[in-house]
Amino acid sequence: MPDGPPSTIRIRVRMTARPIDEPHRVSSQLELLFDLTFVIAVAAATEQFAHTIAEGHAGSGLVAFLQVFFAIWWAWMNFTWFASSYDTDDVAYRLLTMVQMAGVLVLAAGVTAAADHQDYRTVTIGYVIMRLALVVQWLRASVEDPERRRTARRYAVGISIVQLGWLLRLVLADTGVLTDSTLLVAAFVVLAIGELAVPRWAERTASTNWHPHHIAERYGLFTIILLGETVLAGTNAVRRALDATHVNAALITVAACALVLVFALWWLYFLHPAGPGLEGRRERSYHWGYGHYGIFAALAALGAGLEVAVEQTGHELHISATAVGYAVAVPVAVFIGLLWIVHSLIAERAVVHLGIASAAIAIILLLPLTTPALGPTTVLALMTATCVALVGVASWRGALRQ
């Protein structure tokens, strides 16, 4: 930890690797402020995805949503792991973090254009701003931390090359060379794989000193942000429904189920702390960290699904009630499945047995098919009850092992 009282503004602190066993390592105030900008970006992506689902364009909306959310998640994740290793909290570090925050806001401003018109100019510019600011951070680390100089340089070079690829994709799209949606998605997949490959390539020379408990806390905080966005999406939908119609039993039931469902997913995620597992199995951190893309995206998509479910109680939508049920069921099933996978990577024993998790996923995915007979409100209530039962079984199993 840098010397000096916590209240002192440090003009410059040498950027050296922080200890991986540093006691009482928690998120800094700057990291928490940084996260707030992602609240705006996630809210924009979720709201736009909900709109496309309600309009009957869930397929194309999902493609745009996953691309935008990848940019949000990857930029957040790279900052988080870098900060876990090299957070100096001096003036230069704070200013470069502010530049990354500005990039997040630019990205958020371009979400609507990306979803409606496949116009990724603003999103790409915002993303590149974030990434180039991180490149400067890595270059600084390469100068001030000789032991990991090659690793830091590899990060800087690798990130820079991929950013040129994103800019080239943007130029080709603007000039009409790359206009087919399939080719745009293919280019995205290739560049995303390039982004994911940079850390594995860079750390082949020497690993960075990320703190396992700090990383676990940071991921937990981002999970809470996404759960909060889900609650916000549902609340906004309830407010609009109240403005358009009177209170009815269906609206109250859906709103209550949304709250209980979010609480159940929160309970499942934090049922077992990830810090000790990451500490004992650092070599599995890539899979654990990368697996959270699906977990985080599922939580954000759930917010969109719940928003549509609430809207359905007040007026007719362009999609069937069964489709609305799947807008909730699919994100919940993906969340449960991926949570089991990432937890099993770092834990000696899974808190939720594979058979129990699989049964819950199967029930949740089959329930929307019963919508014509049971009604959308009852189906949502049964999905919520399934998640509550899963929490109960997992908690009981965890208590038996203590």
Predicted local distance difference test score (pLDDT) of residue 395: 87
HSE, side-chain direction, 13 A CA sphere, residue 244: 14
314 pLDDT above the threshold of 80:
no
190: pLDDT confidence band, cut at 50, 70 and 90?
very high
Average pLDDT over residues 383-399: 89
Which class for 389: exposed (0-12), middle (13-18), buried (19 or more C-beta within 10 A)? middle
Find the farthest-apart pair of alpha carbons in the chain and give their distance in angstroms, rounded.
Answer: 67
312: pLDDT confidence band, cut at 50, 70 and 90?
confident
Over the stretch 2-46, which tens digit does the pLDDT of each residue have?
Answer: 444 455 678 888 999 999 989 989 999 999 999 999 999 999 999
pLDDT > 90: what percent of the chain?
Answer: 73
What size, in residues, is the chain?
A: 402
Q: Say how far apart CA 360 and CA 333 lie, in whole Å.
A: 8
Over the stretch 324-376, which tens digit does the pLDDT of each residue have?
Answer: 999 999 999 999 999 999 999 998 777 678 899 999 999 999 999 999 999 99
For the chain, the domains span 29-202, 212-400
- The sign of the dihedral angle between the CA atoms of 134, 139, 142, 148 is positive
Which class for 401: exposed (0-12), middle (13-18), buried (19 or more C-beta within 10 A)? exposed
Q: What is the Rg, in whole angstroms, of the alpha carbon atoms belonging to the chain?
A: 22
245: pLDDT confidence band, cut at 50, 70 and 90?
low
**In the structure encoding, which two tokens stand for residue 297, read together?**
């995206």
CA angle at residue 113 from 110 to 118, to 5 degrees?
A: 115
Predicted local distance difference test score (pLDDT) of residue 242: 75
Predicted local distance difference test score (pLDDT) of residue 4: 42
Q: Say how far apart CA 377 and CA 371 lie, in whole Å.
A: 9
Amino acid symbol at 363? I
Q: Say how far apart CA 366 and CA 382 lie, in whole Å.
A: 11
Over the stretch 367-388, which tens digit does the pLDDT of each residue have?
Answer: 999 999 999 999 999 999 999 9
Q: Say how far apart CA 265 and CA 269 lie, in whole Å.
A: 6
In 3D space, the residue among 388, 363, 384, 391 whose CA is nearest the CA of residue 270 turns out to be 391
Residues 305, 307, 308, 314: what is their CA dihedral angle, to the nearest 10 degrees? 150
Predicted local distance difference test score (pLDDT) of residue 246: 66
Query: Would you say 53 and 327 are in contact if contact means Cβ atoms under 8 Å apart?
Result: yes
Query: Would you say 251 and 241 are in contact if contact means Cβ atoms under 8 Å apart?
Result: yes
Lowest mean pLDDT among 63-72, 153-162, 260-269, 391-400: 391-400
Lowest mean pLDDT among 134-148, 155-169, 179-193: 179-193
pLDDT > 70: what percent of the chain?
Answer: 96
**In the structure encoding, which two tokens stand for residue 330, read together?**
């699919």
105 pLDDT above the threshold of 70:
yes
DSSP 314: T
Q: Say how far apart CA 346 and CA 283 lie, in whole Å.
A: 10
Over the stretch 75-98, which tens digit does the pLDDT of each residue have?
Answer: 999 999 999 999 999 999 999 999
